[in-house]
Structures are given as C-alpha cells and as structure tokens.
Amino acid sequence: MNTKKISLKISKIIVAAWFILLSANQVNAQDIEGGGTQGAAIGGFSKAEKLYNDLAYHEAIPLYEAYIKKHDSARAMAHLGDCYRLTSRYDKAEYWYSKAVDKGGVDAKYKLYLAQMQQVNGKYEDAAKMYANYKQAVPEDRRSGNEMKACADYGQFLLTRDRYTVKNLDFNTGGYDFGTALFNEGIIFSSSRDSAKAISREHTWTGTQFFDMYYVKGDKTKFGKPQRMKGDAATKFHEAIPTFTSDFKKVLFTRNNFFNNKTKTSSDKIMKLKIYESDVNGLDWKNDKNFPFNNDEYSVGHPALTPDGNTLYFASDMPGGYGYTDIYVSQKEGDTWGTPKNLGPDVNTEGREMFPFVDKDGELYFASDGHGGLGGLDNFRVKKNAKTGKFGKIRNVGAPINSSYDDFAMVYGKDRSYGYFTSDRPDGHGLDDIYSFTDDGIYLEGIVVDAKTGEPICTSNVVMNAKLTGAEQGRTNTECDGEFEFNVVRNTDYCFVASAEGYSTNRDVCATTKGVAPGGKVFVKIPLEKSKVYAMSVQVLGKSPKSPGEITSR
C-alpha cells in the first residue's frame, strides 16, 4: 500500500486543491494539504500522533478521543481540534481548541485557530475577542487585525445579499466537487467520485477518495452527466484546477509530483504539487511537461492564465513568501515562462492566498483567509493600476458568494452576469460543492481627484444619492488612492456629494446604470477644486492710536 504523503488542496477547512506541507513535526491545520494512503492503526496517544503526522486525520480522531477520556492532555486536545478542522467538522474543532486554549500550555497559533473556528461558526463577537488575544501573543501577524475589523463590522459583507443568487448544482456528490474552468460548451471540475484505480484510493486525510477531473456539458444551472477526463488529466494521483489558452489547445493544471510514470518526493518524503502543461485533444490531454519553476521541495499549483495567455498567476509555498501560500505571477517569454514574482504584502498575508482567476478586464480574483471576511476562505478581487503596475484596494466579493465557511475558486461564465464558485457550506450535497451564481448588480467605481492636477485626493468623503428621490444610497471615505466603490442596481441614476479638507464640495457629478448589463461596471471621476483663500484689509477706528491702524486677516 502506498505510504507517501500526498499534498493536494484539502483546504484549511475544506478539500479542494491543496494545502502546504511542512515537516511532520510541524503539522498544523493550515500548513498541510493532502494525506497518506496507509492503513489504520489501533492504539493510544503515540499511534494517534503517528497518524496525525502522516496526515491521516480521519483515522486519528477516534484514537485521540479515546486517549482524552483518560488523560487531560492539552496537546491531544489541540491535535484533535486540528483533525476535526481539517475534516470540516468545525463545531467539534472549536470545542477542542477551546478546551486546549483554556487548559494552557499550547502554542499561540491555537488561539488563532480557535478564533477562526468561532468565526466560521458565526460567533463573531467571541472570534473578535480571541483574535485580540492572539494579537497580543503574535502582534506581527496582520491577520488578527484584519479579522478583528471584519468581525466587528461583518454586516458590510452582507450588503450584496440581494445582488447575487446562488444555486447548488445537481451534479455534486456526497464527496468533494470543486474548482471549475469553462471548456467546450461546459465546465471541467475536480471530484472525489468514482476513483477506483490501481492503487488504494482512500485518502486518509478525510477517509474519502482521490481527485480526478471531469467534464460536464451545460451552462449556468443546467448540466448533463459528468464524464471522466482522460490521459494526463486522469492519473492515479490528484489532478485539479485547469486553465486553458484562449484557443483551448493547451491546458495548465495541478497534479501531484508524478511525471513520466514516476513519482518524486521532497527531502521529508512528501509528494508536493506541481503545474503541468498538456496538449488538449477533446477530453484527452497528452504530452504533459513540467512548468519550469516546479520544485520537489515545495508546492506550485492553481494556475490561472490571463485572457491573452501572456501572464500566469499561481499559488505556491516556495521559500521567501509572506504566508502559508502566496500568489505569484510569471510572464510569457517566448515558448517558456519568466521568473515568478511574489505579488507582495498588499495581496499576500501570513495566511493562505490561493485559487487565482483573472477576468476579461484583467481584474484578479483569489481566495484568502487573511484579508478579513465572513470566515474561512473568502473570495476577493483586486485591480492592477495600469500606470504604476501596483495592485489597489483588496475588496471582499461579499455574501452570498462568501459565507462563514470556506468559499473559493470563483470564476465567471461566458459573461460577467454569472459564474461558479466552490464552498463547503453545510447546505450542500457533500463536503465541497460547486455552486453557480447570477449577478444582477453593477459595480460603480470612482475616484476623487484634484481638479487642477488630476491627482487622487487623500481621505475624501463620498455620499451617493438616488437622483430621483435624493435618498442616500451609500457613503464611504477614500484612502490616498482616492478610489471608492458602491454596489448599485440597474436602470437607476445616482448623484454624488464629494468633499475633502481644503477643497470645495462638489455636488455636480451624476451617473447612470441604464443600459449597463448585469455584472457590469460604471466609472465615475469626481474633481474637487481647492478652496479659494480670500485676503481683506480691515480698517480699525478708535481713539488710540491717533491715526487709523490697519490689520490684515486671511
């Protein structure tokens, strides 16, 4: 039986396409991704720990529970919490993390994990307090500050509830179904359904089977029967997350380190993830080759091509990053790819950034558990400034696409009015399900600038009113990029009141969403004139001095 540890995205609290694997001595919920393929062990704490270190969380749970009944061990409680978290049983994970933290003597990271589980379980007030507790212990970790703010004002992420309509798709199973890519009048996704192959197919991380890629014909919410992909897309190991060139002749996808019928492991005996490129012949992919920056010692995966095929985003836990997984970018250089660059600390956090996707306008979408949201992984989006090349403000996509659970792998369909994402929310068919969404709203994006220089104005205030009634529809304060954004509805006129210190208020700018398709965007520029400075001469008359004095005021 194969005893190699396999790295794939069984996400922090979900399975989907990968996690990071650290050494066996540092296994923790957000570090790992995948599991061994060995048989069960029976025994006490040492055997539970061996299963835990082999990433066999599903099998370790009953051994830890039996041990804790007789031993008051904070370490066992913490590791049991990890096992439950990594198999998507968040209420039990919260319970055991709470017991371990209350008992004391465990690493500070368990305060973070407890806060994350409280957030996933909708206990935002408790989560905010625990994030504050973790911040005192590890002040340099930016996640605590981001999530404290999110928990204190989680209602901001619910304002989009009427904008999106989500639907669980009928082809989901009781296992894991995740990650979508448009292909040939349908979509391709990964699934743990029917995985009977030459090796033992049970994945001991969760007790489920391995992932293969499937194609299903259909669009939006109506689909046929899924068909298993062939060739490079259907080996005896994990495959997931494809991205295609615009002509659909080439595909890049994620797979365990399995090439030319040979497996390779890292120095700590773990099969990392790699990106492979194959020729596409219908449902049969052939002639796979390695992405130039694959490495046996770390994982590289979740590829996402820009529409022109010249830029590739991907996720990796390579050395030198900011968190567990970071997003990198590589530019096409002839027939190969240039040296990857980390997107930097404005995009990447100490947590997990993964599942990138680029829309037709070049806007980057990704999943993160470090930027502040409803809980677990949330979907975010960010624009790149064409002039500076820097990424702007990170924006949470909002509910109901995002929830307190893990929500990730968001992509658009043939236009921006609909798309797909994956979630492990409890109302699904299985452990991870694919959902469709329709977008009936519009993004109104704007910028406040100096009327003379055209430069953005720091800390301006923008109020948006309905033109017809004058009723306020939203307000916001800009940062130094001068940018703002509102979610608006179709066929409506809006007017703005913008102000900033040292400038005259502008009430003259209006915009309309008439004729704008669902999921579309409207852009607004609001110029502000600097306040005029008046000088006046005042003559003061009085008995003394004898001649009038003159005071100049400004």
The pLDDT tens digits of the residues spanning 446-504 come to 999 999 999 999 999 999 999 999 999 999 999 888 999 999 999 999 999 999 999 99
Architecture of domain 444-528: Sandwich (2.60)
CATH 2.60.40.10 residue ranges in the chain? 444-528
Q: Are 215 and 227 in contact (CB under 8 A)?
A: yes
Task: Look at residue 537 in the predicted model and tell me its pLDDT.
Answer: 64
Across the range 215-242, mean pLDDT stands at 92
Percent of the chain having pLDDT more than 70? 86
Q: Is the dihedral of CA 427, 429, 432, 436 positive or negative?
A: negative
Task: Look at residue 80 in the predicted model and tell me its pLDDT.
Answer: 98
* Bridge partners, residue 41, by sequence: none
DSSP H or E stretch at residue 498: strand 493-499
Alpha-carbon span 447 to 527, nearest angstrom: 8
Domain 164-440, CATH among 3.40.50.300, 2.115.10.20, 3.40.50.1100, 1.20.1250.20: 2.115.10.20
Across the range 394-404, mean pLDDT stands at 96
Task: Look at residue 541 in the predicted model and tell me its pLDDT.
Answer: 65
Residue-averaged pLDDT of the chain: 87
Q: Per mean pLDDT, which range of 297-311, 315-329, 494-508, 524-538 is the poorest? A: 524-538
Q: For residue 268, give both structure tokens.
A: 């700590």
pTM value? 0.85
- 3-state secondary structure string across 177-198: EEEEEEECCEEEEEECCCCCCC
Q: Are 52 and 84 in contact (CB under 8 A)?
A: no
Q: Are 359 and 335 in contact (CB under 8 A)?
A: no
**pLDDT tens, residue by residue, 348-385:** 999 999 999 999 989 999 999 999 999 999 999 999 88
**pLDDT tens, residue by residue, 279-294:** 999 999 999 999 999 9
Q: For residue 529, give both structure tokens.
A: 């004139």
Q: Are 458 and 538 in contact (CB under 8 A)?
A: no
Residue 386 Cα distances to 244, 313, 363, 522, angstroms: 24, 17, 11, 18
* Bridge partners, residue 314, by sequence: 328
Q: Is the dihedral of CA 454, 455, 461, 467 positive or negative?
A: positive
- The length of the chain is 554
Task: Look at residue 370 in the predicted model and tell me its pLDDT.
Answer: 96
At 401 the three-state DSSP class reads coil
Across the range 161-166, mean pLDDT stands at 94
Task: Look at residue 433 in the predicted model and tell me its pLDDT.
Answer: 96
Question: Beta 239-244 vs 273-281: how paired, if at all?
Answer: unpaired
Alpha-carbon span 405 to 341, nearest angstrom: 30
Q: Are 56 and 260 in contact (CB under 8 A)?
A: no
Task: Look at residue 172 in the predicted model and tell me its pLDDT.
Answer: 97
Alpha-carbon span 242 to 19, nearest angstrom: 17
Alpha-carbon span 124 to 374, nearest angstrom: 9
Q: For residue 183, give both structure tokens.
A: 């292909």
Q: How confident is the model at residue 543 (pLDDT cuts 50, 70, 90)?
A: low
Q: Per mean pLDDT, which range of 157-161, 224-228, 501-505, 527-531 is the poorest? A: 157-161
Across the range 190-194, mean pLDDT stands at 87
Indicate if the pLDDT at residue 204 is higher than 60: no
CATH 2.115.10.20 residue ranges in the chain? 164-440
Indicate if the pLDDT at residue 522 is higher than 60: yes
Task: Look at residue 9 in the predicted model and tell me its pLDDT.
Answer: 36
With CA atoms as reference, report the closest residue to 239 among 248, 224, 228, 225: 228
